[in-house]
A and B are shown apart, each in its own frame.
Chain A
Amino acid sequence: MNCETVSELLPELLSGSLGREQELELLSHLASCPDCRSELAFWAQVAEAEQDDAEPMPNGLFRGIRDELFGAKATTVLETLRLTGRALGLAGSACRLAFSMAGK
């Protein structure tokens, strides 16, 4: 692999998108070529600058998409199950309390 080819592939090396074999070949060239290593350092700085600029996503966007596609049904079913579970739990506690009081 010559310097021209390596130079072309350095961004792909940094993006982690090269195949294993090509990556090893490129790393082997870099081990013996200071010019290409210095270009790799340059691209690494560029990659870092671009990655630093990536912004986080706000929460809650999926709910809008889900409601648009599936209506409020998905949310309601889930919430109904939660409420039913909670209601059953409360009913059980009430029964246990009633039995224990009746037993006294």
Chain B
Amino acid sequence: MAERESTLISRMAGGDEKAFEELYNANARKVFAYLRSRNIDEETTSDILQNTFLAAWRGAGRYQGGAKPLTWLIAIARHKLVDEVRMRERTRAAPLESVLGGHDPTAENEERLSVRQAVQALGAEHRELLHLVFVLGMNYAEAAEVLEIPEGTVKSRMFALKRQLAGRLAVEVGT
């Protein structure tokens, strides 16, 4: 699948509009879901999604083929999101925390939480990692590429969030 989609990007670089539509159909929902998971509104998400695919079309010739197409697209979307956040900070349209779904760690609930509540209460950094792995099906190396951090940092973040969740859920989990 990813190999076939890589071919689509090569065809896009040659100006093939049909290949672009196929790549969009195969990945747009995942890119949209990723952006929505970052806690931004639907209108901004749609704008960033459009900018992501515009950039993908224009940058198809620079695609190296090393990353899976979805990883490549999510990395572009993430950069577009960062650009949006910076622009909002400059224009003071919305504070960074609300755009990136910042979580107030002092709002710790002493009661035992459901797993879903505990996941929702995680910070933006941890939610993003969970989304990349469990919703987009990325391995640690791919998540590291999107997040622009070493793979070892992905592993330690996963370990930290496991500890955090286990603590909130008052359960004992593994090593």
Contacts and interface: CB of A to CB of B under 8 A. Distances in A.
> Do A and B form a real pair?
yes
Interface residues of A, number: 40
A50 B130 CA distance: 7
B75 interface: no
Interface string B109-142: 0000001101110000001001101110111101
B46 interface: yes
Interface string B148-167: 00000001001100100110
A45 B80 CA distance: 31
Interface in A39-76: 39, 42-43, 45-58, 61-62, 64-66, 68-70, 74
Given A17-B139, A46-B115, A58 B42 contact: yes
Contacts, number: 109
B107 interface: no
B77 to A, nearest CB: 13
A51 B164 CA distance: 19
Interface residues of B, number: 44
A46 B28 contact: no
Interface string A11-54: 11011111000000000000000011011001101111111111
Contact of B142 (A17, A56, A58, A68): A17
